[in-house]
Amino acid sequence: MSEKKKIAVIGGGSWATALVKILCNNVTSVNWYMRNEGAVAHIIKYRHNPNYLQSVEFDINKINVSTDLKEMIEPADVVILATPSAFLHDLFENFPVKMLEDKVVFSAVKGIIPEYNAIPARFIHKTFNTPYDNIGIICGPCHAEEVALERLSYLTIACQDEDVCEDMAELLSCRYIKTNVSDDLFGTELSAVLKNVYSIASGICAGLGYGDNFQAVLLSNAIQEIENFIDEVSPIHRDVMSSAYLGDLLVTAYSKFSRNRSFGFMIGKGYSVKTAQLEMDMVAEGYYATKSVIEINKKFQVEMPIVEAVYRILYEKISPVIEMRILTDKLS
């Protein structure tokens, strides 16, 4: 992809910050939308995001940061969405539909839009009439915090159009980022959604005092659930033991940087859902994904005991101690 391509990144959080950092290695300019006016002013003056990944220093000559969404998107050839899925519907509620119709749109969201129980690819396609060949996903295994530290990380780029996929992979490749490509748009996106639910389960179990032995069993069963679900929803050939699926699950379930694991850990320690959310002051995508996956699975009827256990704990307020004890008898 030519560095003359105009890129817009939408979001002000850690992943948006990390993506802007990566892109600045390979392009001359990035349009960056964030809604926080104070953060925009701070970046322009001090060259770093005051709220996320504060160690990242930007070349202010390479970024155009603004709170004007239309101004950032209109001239862009490629738009990367890095806004939490729970906010996407509101963000684009009054946005001109035609403006995204002919653009390449990549999602780095890793969540479900709760208003539609839809993954971002489907939301983009249905809302803006963007062809699926122009829609992609950027997924892990990768934590934004390690990108900020320039630790070697791997990204999987998925799109049904091979050329679009390869272009984005080239755009995001640099000294500390290696990229893989995939044509499994729906499978990788659904897997990225589901791993957040299993990460919450992992955190709950850690909070309850379960050890590494049980965590290994939990995640072995989790990848089986992921495979069964995405094979039912999108029946194409895929290897779920590759890094886009299993790798992304493992890093999210085990890492100290995982907000979903941290959220689950607090639930396991006895926090209420609301208290845990307030304590984190960050969005745990898996909370919203849990309910949406349960709704979606009413159609497909895949056995997903781990997802169901997390749902009962988060939404039906069943005791984590009781629910996880029941779950242990369902795992193998």
In this predicted model, what pLDDT tens digit does every residue of 216-252 receive, in sequence order?
999 999 999 999 999 999 999 999 999 999 999 999 9
**Cα–Cα distance measured from residue 321 to residue 302, given in angstroms and rounded to the nearest whole number:** 25
Task: Name the nearest CA neighbour of 188 among 219, 160, 153, 208.
Answer: 160
pLDDT value at position 1? 46
284 phi-psi bin (left φ>0, alpha ψ -120 to 50, beta other): beta
Q: Which two tokens stand for residue 199?
A: 């990460």
**Cα–Cα distance measured from residue 63 to residue 157, given in angstroms and rounded to the nearest whole number:** 23
Residue 2 has pLDDT above 90, yes or no: no
pLDDT value at position 283? 82
Q: Tell me the CA distances in angstroms from 117 to 112, 237, 240, 289, 294, one per residue in order.
A: 6, 24, 23, 8, 10
Task: Name the nearest CA neighbour of 229 among 270, 187, 197, 263.
Answer: 187
pLDDT in tens, 184-221: 999 999 999 999 999 999 999 999 999 999 999 999 99
Question: Containing H/E element for 120?
Answer: helix 120-128
Q: Which two tokens stand for residue 218?
A: 């939990």
Residue 282 has pLDDT above 80, yes or no: no
Q: Of these residues, 98, 103, 195, 256, which one is catalytic?
A: 195
Question: Which segments within 55-128 are labelled E, that is strand?
Answer: 63-66, 78-81, 104-107
Our CA angle for 292, 297, 301, nearest 5°, is 165
Question: Is residue 45 annotated as a catalytic residue, yes or no?
Answer: no
Question: Which residues contact residue 93 at a Cβ distance below 8 angstroms, ignoring those fewer than 6 apart?
Answer: none
Q: Which two tokens stand for residue 244?
A: 């886009």
Domains detected in the chain = 7-183 (3.40.50.720), 193-328 (1.10.1040.10)
Residue 65 has pLDDT above 50, yes or no: yes
pLDDT in tens, 298-327: 999 999 999 999 999 999 999 999 999 999
Task: Name the nearest CA neighbour of 137 among 168, 92, 94.
Answer: 168
pLDDT in tens, 100-154: 999 999 999 988 998 899 999 999 999 999 999 999 999 999 999 999 999 999 9
**Average pLDDT score over residue span 17-44:** 96
